[in-house]
């Protein structure tokens, strides 16, 4: 089974209590279970992680690059300003799909710019937790196509 990392940035561990009108009522545990179940159906072994620490996230991105491991990444607030996360993504050796639960383009102005989008394989946003399922499907498709 092909391994995939699902990496999540700051505050996503607070799903279910953090702005439920924006992010929904599901918890991070619900998200992790959804990703593992969707991955299993797609023949992927999914490792779901979350951190509020930029350095830890960068370390995981390096680990993925070194292991040629595809990544589904919700960089959260790092999306808009972390050139360090952007540079770590640029070193990727396998597909990386940027995901967002909400649609950043429909939110506050400062959320409209993603510094990581240009170095990701693609971006999926605005479909709630289903954004992750769509991203895993994209990874599975790219893996089959040999991308």
Q: Which sequence positions are flagged as catalytic?
A: 23, 100
Known binding-site residues for substrate equal 74, 80, 87, 101-102, 111
Residue 4 contacts residue 44 (beta carbons within 8 Å): yes
Known binding-site residues equal 74, 80, 87, 101-102, 111
CA distances from 55 to 58, 108, 135 (A): 5, 26, 24
Q: What element of type H or E holds 43? A: none
Nearest to 57 by CA among 87, 95, 36: 87
Q: Which residue has the tokens 């009108």?
A: 21
The conformation of residue 69, written as its DSSP 8-state character, comes to -
């Amino acid at each position: 089974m092909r391994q995939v990392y699902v990496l999540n940035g700051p505050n996503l561990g607070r799903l279910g209590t953090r702005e439920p009108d924006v992010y929904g009522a599901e918890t991070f545990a619900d998200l992790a279970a959804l990703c593992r179940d969707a991955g299993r159906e797609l023949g992927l072994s999914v490792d779901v992680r979350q951190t509020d620490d930029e350095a830890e996230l960068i370390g995981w991105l390096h680990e993925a690059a070194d292991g040629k491991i595809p990544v589904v990444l919700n960089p959260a607030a790092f999306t808009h300003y972390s050139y360090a996360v952007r540079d770590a993504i640029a070193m990727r050796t396998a597909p990386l799909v940027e995901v967002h639960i909400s649609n950043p383009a429909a939110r506050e102005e400062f959320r409209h710019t993603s510094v990581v989008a240009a170095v990701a394989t693609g971006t999926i946003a605005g479909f709630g937790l289903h954004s992750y399922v769509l991203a895993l499907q994209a990874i599975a498709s790219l893996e089959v196509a040999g991308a």
